[in-house]
Amino acid sequence: MSFQSEPFTMGVEEEYQIIDPVTYELSSSSRALLSKAQQTLGEKAQPELQLSQVEAATPICRSLQQVRQELIHMRGKMITAASRQEKYLAAAGTHPFSHWKSQHITPKQRYQEIAEVQQQLAREPVFGCHVHIGLEDRELALEVMNRASIWLAPLLALATNSPFWLGEDSGYASFRTVLWSRWPTSGQPQYFTCLNEYEALLRALVATGSVEDATKIYWDIRLSERFKTIEFRVADCCLTVDEVVMMVGLIRAMVQTCYAQARHNEAFPVVRPELLRAAHWRAARYGISRELMDVAAQCSLPAAAMIEKMLMVLRPVLEAEGNWDEIASLVHETLRGGNGSMRQRAAYQRTGRMEDVVDFIVAETRKGLAC
């Protein structure tokens, strides 16, 4: 997997669940699935920490239209590979009821080392969506990261897609976020004054044995160590291609907006980490169903109002790129029809069966595909 270091290019990594079509539980069969998927996707299809999950990545994309085409192609090939192994593929942040005790770590040195260090945290499977935006200048990329941090909570709220855990409603819109927050290098990074400070922190984390290398720092937003990109890791794996396109469009516009602000040395609020953490928790707890925090203004707003505020900040860039109509439409459709967590809960309320929730997720994962 590789993303070209060209400014504002886009790349998406999705972590999928492998589902047994009889029990609707997670199936530890990634090796067989990947042997089929890699025949068409090559190294863009990869194993993940658990044998019941697989990751796939798009090529470098230069337009949202290409992002959509590549996502359709990628999901289609992964679903086809799964079907050839008599399995389903599902896109959600957690499985509604499969128990972590039934999962197995992928027998690969990197994953076994992670499992040895993290223990229980590594045994609980979660599934995310990671968006890379190309930006070569690392100093400017760090300034973008600082500025974008105040918008991570409304992004998460739109993308929440993991309400269930171990057969129960967790009470959270994104329980994946809660599970993932226990990892020692997860969450939101604090403000950095310069690139030297950022790199000194990474060196200190490695030197103290806190991480083996900088690729094992899993912040919600980070400078990629493998590519010249800013990587946003805040989102649950999204149900549909439309929702992924929405997130990519918003994130790219956010990077472009913050980049322009940084180039013009525009002032921006440096928000206390405690406020950012509280805003992040609220987004994970309620998604778009309640109020979100405006950390810059230090007040609460209805989720729709907060997301509209974010849209207005991004509108000039979205219009300049010709993406406003599509992204605004997708955001408003999500606000009207519900995000992934809300639609999962509605599926459960219809029948009271967790298996039907999994069936719903599988169907949504295929939505808009030819397969």
Q: Which fold has domain 10-366?
A: Creatine Kinase; Chain A, domain 2 (3.30.590)
Distances (CA, A) of 107 to 25, 50, 213: 21, 9, 20
Confidence tier at 5 by pLDDT (50, 70, 90):
very low
And the tokens for 278? 């509280």
CB atoms within 10 A of CB 369: 17
How do the domains of the chain map onto residue ranges? Answer: 10-366
For residues 79 and 73, give the distance between their C-alpha atoms in angstroms, rounded to a whole number. Answer: 10
Give pLDDT tens digits for 107-151: 999 999 999 999 999 999 999 999 999 999 999 999 999 999 999
Give pLDDT tens digits for 155-185: 999 999 999 999 999 999 999 999 999 999 9
And the tokens for 280? 């992040």
Nearest to 148 by CA among 257, 309, 273, 274: 257
Give pLDDT tens digits for 270-291: 999 999 999 999 999 999 999 9
Strand partners, 285: none
pTM, 2 dp: 0.96
pLDDT at 371 over 70: no
Contact 221, 311 (CB under 8 A): no
Nearest to 362 by CA among 165, 87, 49, 11: 87
